[in-house]
Structure formats: C-alpha cells, structure tokens
Structure 1
C-alpha cells in the first residue's frame, strides 16, 4: 500500500502459449493411492496423489534438518520442500469445478516439508478439523511444502531465503493452473489457508497475484507457465484467502510491536514479568511508527484517518465488536464480570496446553444485553501479555544485536544463501554490533540508507514478502479475504492485522472482506472451522451467481 512502483501484473496469458518447463510438469491422474477415512462417522474414499514435485528444477536439501521444532531426517531431500500432496475426496473424483483448499504450513515463517494431513484410517470431525471439513465439502485438499527460513541445502547453503517461500507457493499454484483440465477441482477456485507465518505467506500470495516481480525466481526453479525469455503464460492469483494471525509487514513489525506495547505503558507496567528488557530501544523503535502509519493513508471503518492518534481507538472498537459477537453467538457465551476470574488456555505449535486464570479488571459487559459497557485498553494490553512474556526487543529482527536474544526472530529469512541471517530493518542494521556476520553498518561500513541504495538485497526481500506493497497496485489481489486474529495474540501487534484489513477495504477489487478479532483466542488458527467453511461456501456461491452458474 505504501509503494506502487514495480508491481506490474504478469500481463496477458495466451491460451496456447507454453512455458519452458510445462512438459516436465504434467499431472498424471492415474497415479494415486486410495485411502479410506472417516468424516463425522461416515467412511469416504480419498485419492492420494503423493508428493508431486511442482517445479522442474527443485533444490536438493541436506538429509538432516534442524529448526525450532527439533531435528529430523528428510525422506525426500530431492524435492520434499517443493512438492505437494493432493487429496481428492470421493465426491470430487470427477468434479472439475469444486474448490481447491490449499494449505501452507509455515509457523514462524519456517520451512515446511511436504506433509500428509490425510492418512489411511484417519478419522475427522468436520466441526473441529479444517481438513475433515474440506473433504466433507467435496473440496480437493492440497498440502503444500515450501522452502523458507532455517532450511539447509545439500551444498550447505541456506536454501530458504526470501522470497523463496512465496515463489514456491506461487509455483504450486501455477502447477495447478497448468493441469487444471487434467485433474479434479478448479484452479480458478483456490482457497489458501495458513496460520502465523503461514498466514503471512497467505497474505502476500493473495495480495501479489500475477506480479512480474517474482518471474525471475519462478524461472529459476522451473515453475509452470514461464517462458525462456521470462514471460508468463499462466496466472498465480487465488480465489480466496483464509488466514489466521498473519505475521506480516515484517519491515515494520518491530516498530508496530513496540508502539503498541509502550504507548499505554504495557512493557513498563509488566516489567516484573520480564517484559521490559530494553526500555530505551523500545522507545526508539516506537517513535518511528507514527510516520510509517501516516504514510499508508489508511482510514478507519468509520472514515477517519488511521493515525497514531486514532489507532488505539480503532483497536478498541474491534475488541468490543469481538466481545459482542461472541456473546450474541449463543446463550452459553458469557464473559466474566469485573472482578471475576477469566480462565484461558495457552499452548499450540508443539507446546502442551496449560490452563491459567486471570482476574478480569479490564472489560465490563452486560451479558443479558450482549453489550460491552466499558473497556480499559491499558489493562487489556496488560492482560494479553500475562499469558506469555513479550518478545525480545526488537521482536522480529534481533539477530546481530548483543542486547537482544535472537531466539526465533525472522532475521534468518534474509540475506544471501551464504549468510545465516541478515538484518532487514533500519534500526537493527544500524545497531548491529556482532562483528563478522557480514550484516549491519559495523561490518559493511554502510548505514541502512546507504545499503538500501547501493545493494539493498534485504530491503528487496522485505518488499517481496509484504502484502502492503501490492494491495491497490496492478497486481491481481484476491477478491475474497477471511482474516482472524485472536484477542489474546501477543505474537504480533494488533495494528498489523488491522492495517491489512484497512488496506484491503480500500482496494476496489476486493469483493468480500471478513476481518475480525476472535474472542479469547491466542496466536493460533482454524479454531472456527464451521464459520470459516460457511464463509468459503458463501463466496463460492456468490461467484457462481455472478457467473450465472448453479451449484458446482
């Protein structure tokens, strides 16, 4: 949204034009294994097209990979990170118009080895499993593997540097489009689903459809629909985006995080929880946010300019809407009164569930009328950070700064294949003080501004991951968006999701925008399967209506 240069669409797509690699990427509809699964107690046959390599030139990986989820041995180092499993339920065996539910699995923007979410004998409850619900609805389910941070290639280089994760997702989409006439499901109806880093991936893929920016990278991996001269013969836009807690706008995520958690004194007020490790750095980062927000030229839902002066009120409005939506959804959905205890559970992403209680001192509600009486935002933010210590300072680009713990920060997404990490924000680059890491002013002799002008690799990588740079441009942004962020999410600033919503609301190509804070949910996804699936069915039906079709 902030920048409009260099985001052209990939232009016309001649019906009979061929990509250089298309002949190597032909789908074989006879090469499948039949599985039997149970969905809501009913057995159904599923055809499994196993580990389809969606690029002609996959990058070979090291046999052993280590990451935030431990160490594992890779069964398919040749193409396990650039392949996908396709699962076709019985009802879709011969249906070429049903939707394709396209799942990415990139928590923390980490690389994702191809997964098999459907196994023989598995049992699914469609009320809680998005996979089971997709199969029950008759959608083709696609489980996609992608390169991303933390991945090591067979030659020892770092294989997951940006924008490879976006390129891989686009290459998988192009494979589906190339083979649309030969396989079940419609590539015109791809619904992309992802959470956390996967939500961030979904946001950029959904925003940047058909942009020429990615064509050199797509050509390099041998993606479908790319000619020898680097032109495109296929599209890579998607029909709909269904994402949760997207970690996105990484170039500005640090300043947004510190602004949100310092503007009402959250870090200082909860210092006893370990939340205030570097007050001066927090203040410096937070001071940079107002000008960035102003540069986006966004508006609140009631038409005011969205600025540092109106942002807290805008978040407050969304929290109130979330609470009232929750109360209205059923008589059992009550919120504790002031002074009563709230019970909530933390966990997820490999961590065991842990139950906590907290005395409600921040929201006053009238459950009988399903109304919020009052909301104290300072105490609300303090409540949010009781479930988990706030992230380090900086929160997303901490590698190379001796005052911060790098931990799981996203710095490893950036830099060359020979660098473990590179700073990608102005503050972290200019304040990098780890000698010999080839990142920052200390090693390069260049300030961030100078580096961005002379080389700017990390800045370009940030751009290629940022949906805010593509919404409202010549790129083909998806027409349908379902975005959820939990009211207890402390993993990124609420401002990030709200800005994404406001940018999409201003884009006239977006037909259906369903953004909301999900009441009492943490940094997680797919907790509202019936609601999300109902939305998908609705936008598909609306598309049918516009096209004059009836049913699938």
Structure 2
C-alpha cells in the first residue's frame, strides 16, 4: 500500500460544451493484502487548477470536499470509473465529471461483489466484503491525507440502491469494532473510517426486515410487473418486461410477512418531529402508516407547487391546490408491485440478497427466520454477525459506532424495489438520535439515483462551507 504523488496524469475532457482539466491518480491499491486486487484499488481525481494555485467554487487544493461515489448495484462488484459518459445512460455525463467540474476531489473505489471467486473457486465478495472494502478505501485516504488532494475530514460517500445501502452503512458504522477483524486481515491502514456526510439514493437496507416492510406496503396486490435486465456483449443493458400473478405459496408468505411488521416497527420506538410515537396495530394501521402517507403527500405537494398536473391520480385528494389526503391502498395499486413474496429472502434462495449472504464455499443462504423456517430449498442460515454488519439500523444507537454529521436520503415516490417504510425508518431512527437527515421522496421517481445533482451538490456545499 503506497501513494506516489508524482505518479499522475493530467487529462482534459470536453462533454456537453463543458471542459474539465484534472489530475488523475490511477489504480491505487488500498490494502496491503488484497484478495482481489482488481477490486481493491481506486482512482482519485482533482481539478488541475488546484495545483496551479487556483480555486473552483471557493474550494482549493486542501479545502475541497472528497466526494466518494461507489458504483455498486445489486450488491454486485463496483467497477472503477472515470469522468465521462454514464455507463447506463450513454447520452448523459456521469456524476464523476459533474463533481470534478463543481470543484470536488473525487475518489472512486472499486469494491468486491457477491459473485466473485478466487483462483481456487472460493467466493471472496460475500457479505460483509463490500462494506469492508469501502471502509478500507477511506482509511487509505486518511493514511495519505497529507499528500493527497482534498480535505479528508470532509469525505462524502454516495451510492444508489445497494450502493446507497453501503453509503448509509458508511455513515452509521464508523470505526466500529465489528469490522476490525476483516480490515486487519486485508491489511487496511490503521486509521479512522468514519465519514463526514452520507448521500444515499434508494438504499436497499434492513434486509432482515425488508420482506416484512414490503408485504406491509404491497399486501393484497398479487400481480407483479418488473423489467428483467440483460447486458449485451457491448456492455449495454437491455430490458424485458415480466408480468405475472403470485402463486398460493407467495400469497401466503405475503400475508404472514405483513403480520410480522407491526411488532418490528413498535420495537423501534420511533417518534415524529413533535414527539408522537409512531406505531402500528395488529392490522398494520396506526400512526406509523399515517406518517408514511404524509411523506407521499409532501411529495405530491412539492410537485403541485412546481406546477405539475396530478389530476389523474384518483387516489390523491387535492383541494385548492393542496394535497390533503390519499387512499394508501389505491396508491400502492397505482405504483404496482415489482417483487413476489418474500421479496428479498426468497424461499427458493433465488434473490441477489440470498447470494449476498453466502460464504466462501456457499453461494446462497437465508437471512431471515421466516424464510429459513419456510424454505423450499433447504437452505442454511447466514451468520448472525454478517447480517448485522449489513444493516445500519443496528448501529444508529451503538455508541461504539461513529456517525456521520450529515445524511441525505432520497427514495422515489414510485420506487417499488423496497418499501418506502425502509428509508423512512432509518431516517426516523437517525433523527430520534439527534442526527441531521435531509430526506425526501421525489414525485414520480422510480428506483434511481444521481438525478438531482444540483441539489446534491448544493447540500454538500452547505454542510462543507
């Protein structure tokens, strides 16, 4: 593990009539004992003008925040990326380019994923490898802080979906002893791995309770509609629609999972901003559900204030330009179900999350009591510690975990990949413990990220300046 400040390239790139000149430090291996070296290294980029004594948006060489986006989706490996066009939207400039143009130092780590194996055929990217790698990359930045560009006390992580989950974990589990044996085994730097801010788009978190939350929201909606993605030889995605109706086993699982959710919500002892307890009764009704409805109404109101016509949304009551009420059941039918029950811990162990919780010799395992007891595949249960280390909810109140000072969480109003309750519970738990969270459910937004970079960068500027 080393850093040579003289080993760099100066590059210039023009996209969409905007030109950036930047200094690139490529392929920095961030651990002493990598087990998959291609996915345990990172690129670091900085505006070249900083090395010429200049500034961008008031930032200079040692005052610019270090923006640290990950490229993880579906808990698959996160690739190394460079400024350029988006991998999935080839007509769109990527976030790395935009962040550099805005004046941030950008550190982009590769991160191991659930499908990777070593030369002997053993898996080396199962949980908690992805979050351990992210932490190790932060420790590398801290270890070489004096020689690197940017302010390593102002690290902002960013990610979408599983990447959003990793960003939320970075924000809640800083320096916690649970991860230390894994970091030590890789030869990670003996530094802090807490961060300053966490940007989390539609985080797929709380996996051991996500099935309950999904069925609480979508209970009674038995038809599903999703798009299956395939990658072409050229690396571009194509999508095929898949529509169907859940079978009797899945419908039974949906009902039984939904019945488990109230007890979990009530165990969290969540409160709203006025101190009112947010709970559910045995039927899934109560103040917590009203809180979730308010999130959707707030999203609708913002859309109305921006001049959008929402009259086609028959589940939404609008009076004098105000979104005043909603039919939650009709809303859920409108956005439609995406996943069959159980949505995450599949009874046949055929989900990305079952894959995530395998071990070195086992591809897939269960990670919830319900699916283990009702397994159709006779699957084993994942290690309790691995399940814990992938769930930020366990660390919010843990005094042994350093938390980020600032969180920004976005979960689209039409996102069906996980329940809106999942991000709402994390937000509430963080706020109840005194942490600052900028939270919103953008109107008519599906499972996606980096769609509001101007607002994201404004948030980063506000917390860093």
Aligned equivalents of 1:118 and 1:26: distance in 2? Answer: 27
Normalised to the residue count of structure 1, the TM-score between the two structures is 0.74
User: Contact 2:224/2:244 (CA < 8 Å) preserved in 1?
Assistant: no
- Aligned position for 1:38: 14
How far has the Cα of 1:370 moved from its partner? 4.4
**In the alignment, structure 1 residue 203 sits paired with structure 2 residue 151:** no
How far has the Cα of 1:92 moved from its partner? 3.4
- Aligned position for 2:309: 335
Aligned equivalents of 1:539 and 1:40: distance in 2? Answer: 28
- Aligned position for 1:293: 265
**In the alignment, structure 1 residue 109 sits paired with structure 2 residue 82:** no
Could you say if the C-alpha distance between residues 268 and 132 of structure 1 is closer, same or farther in structure 2, counting changes exceeding 3 Å?
A: closer
> Which piece of structure 1 moves more, 36-45 or 26-35?
36-45
- Aligned position for 2:228: none
Q: What secondary structure, in the 3-state scheme, does the structure 2 residue paired with 1:257 have?
A: helix
**In the alignment, structure 1 residue 92 sits paired with structure 2 residue 62:** no
Aligned equivalents of 1:420 and 1:141: distance in 2? Answer: 34
Structure 1 stretches lacking a partner, 5+ long? 1-24, 61-78, 226-233, 341-359, 441-456, 542-552
- Aligned position for 1:505: 431
How far has the Cα of 1:38 moved from its partner? 2.7
Q: What secondary structure, in the 3-state scheme, does the structure 1 residue paired with 2:6 have?
A: coil
**In the alignment, structure 1 residue 461 sits paired with structure 2 residue 386:** yes
**In the alignment, structure 1 residue 479 sits paired with structure 2 residue 405:** yes
- Aligned position for 2:98: 133
- Aligned position for 2:197: 240
Matched pairs, number: 429
Q: What secondary structure, in the 3-state scheme, does the structure 1 residue paired with 2:205 have?
A: coil
How far has the Cα of 1:275 moved from its partner? 4.6
User: Contact 1:56/1:223 (CA < 8 Å) preserved in 2?
Assistant: yes
Aligned equivalents of 2:351 and 2:160: distance in 1? Answer: 16
Q: What secondary structure, in the 3-state scheme, does the structure 2 residue paired with 1:107 have?
A: coil
User: Contact 1:482/1:515 (CA < 8 Å) preserved in 2?
Assistant: yes
Aligned equivalents of 1:408 and 1:100: distance in 2? Answer: 34
Q: What secondary structure, in the 3-state scheme, does the structure 2 residue paired with 1:491 have?
A: coil
Aligned runs of 1:75-86 on 2, under 5 Å? 79-86=37-44
Could you say if the C-alpha distance between residues 280 and 408 of structure 1 is closer, same or farther in structure 2, counting changes exceeding 3 Å?
A: closer
Could you say if the C-alpha distance between residues 195 and 279 of structure 1 is closer, same or farther in structure 2, counting changes exceeding 3 Å?
A: same
Q: What secondary structure, in the 3-state scheme, does the structure 2 residue paired with 1:36 have?
A: strand
User: Contact 1:98/1:186 (CA < 8 Å) preserved in 2?
Assistant: yes
- Aligned position for 2:216: 259
- Aligned position for 2:230: none
Aligned equivalents of 1:54 and 1:269: distance in 2? Answer: 42
User: Contact 2:304/2:310 (CA < 8 Å) preserved in 1?
Assistant: no
**In the alignment, structure 1 residue 534 sits paired with structure 2 residue 453:** no
- Aligned position for 1:393: 341
Structure 2 stretches lacking a partner, 5+ long? 54-60, 226-241, 281-285
Q: Which of 307, 315, 331 is matched with 1:380 structurally?
A: 331
Aligned equivalents of 2:460 and 2:193: distance in 1? Answer: 19
Q: What secondary structure, in the 3-state scheme, does the structure 2 residue paired with 1:203 have?
A: helix
Q: What secondary structure, in the 3-state scheme, does the structure 2 residue paired with 1:187 have?
A: strand
Aligned equivalents of 2:430 and 2:118: distance in 1? Answer: 37
**In the alignment, structure 1 residue 428 sits paired with structure 2 residue 371:** yes
User: Contact 1:178/1:224 (CA < 8 Å) preserved in 2?
Assistant: yes
Normalised to the residue count of structure 2, the TM-score between the two structures is 0.87
User: Contact 1:99/1:189 (CA < 8 Å) preserved in 2?
Assistant: yes
- RMSD, matched Cα: 2.3
- Aligned position for 1:310: 287
Q: What secondary structure, in the 3-state scheme, does the structure 2 residue paired with 1:274 have?
A: strand
Q: What secondary structure, in the 3-state scheme, does the structure 2 residue paired with 1:282 have?
A: helix
Aligned equivalents of 1:169 and 1:117: distance in 2? Answer: 20
User: Contact 2:20/2:100 (CA < 8 Å) preserved in 1?
Assistant: no
Aligned equivalents of 1:423 and 1:536: distance in 2? Answer: 38
Q: What secondary structure, in the 3-state scheme, does the structure 2 residue paired with 1:157 have?
A: coil
Aligned runs of 1:321-360 on 2, under 5 Å? 321-328=298-305, 330=306, 333-337=307-311, 340=312, 360=313
- Aligned position for 1:362: 315
Aligned equivalents of 2:263 and 2:42: distance in 1? Answer: 42
Aligned equivalents of 1:180 and 1:172: distance in 2? Answer: 12
- Aligned position for 1:282: 254
- Aligned position for 1:219: 184
User: Contact 2:345/2:351 (CA < 8 Å) preserved in 1?
Assistant: no
Aligned equivalents of 2:19 and 2:224: distance in 1? Answer: 54
- Aligned position for 2:357: 414
User: Contact 1:190/1:239 (CA < 8 Å) preserved in 2?
Assistant: yes
How far has the Cα of 1:420 moved from its partner? 0.6
Higher gyration radius (CA)? 1
Aligned equivalents of 1:46 and 1:36: distance in 2? Answer: 6
Q: What secondary structure, in the 3-state scheme, does the structure 1 residue paired with 2:23 have?
A: strand
Aligned equivalents of 2:98 and 2:48: distance in 1? Answer: 14
User: Contact 1:150/1:412 (CA < 8 Å) preserved in 2?
Assistant: yes
- Once the two structures are superposed, residues 74-109 of structure 1 have per-residue CA deviations (whole angstroms, 9 ceiling, x without a partner) of xxxxx1111111111123336112101101111112
**In the alignment, structure 1 residue 181 sits paired with structure 2 residue 146:** yes
How far has the Cα of 1:268 moved from its partner? 7.2
Aligned equivalents of 2:143 and 2:330: distance in 1? Answer: 53
Aligned equivalents of 1:117 and 1:132: distance in 2? Answer: 4
Aligned equivalents of 2:80 and 2:18: distance in 1? Answer: 27
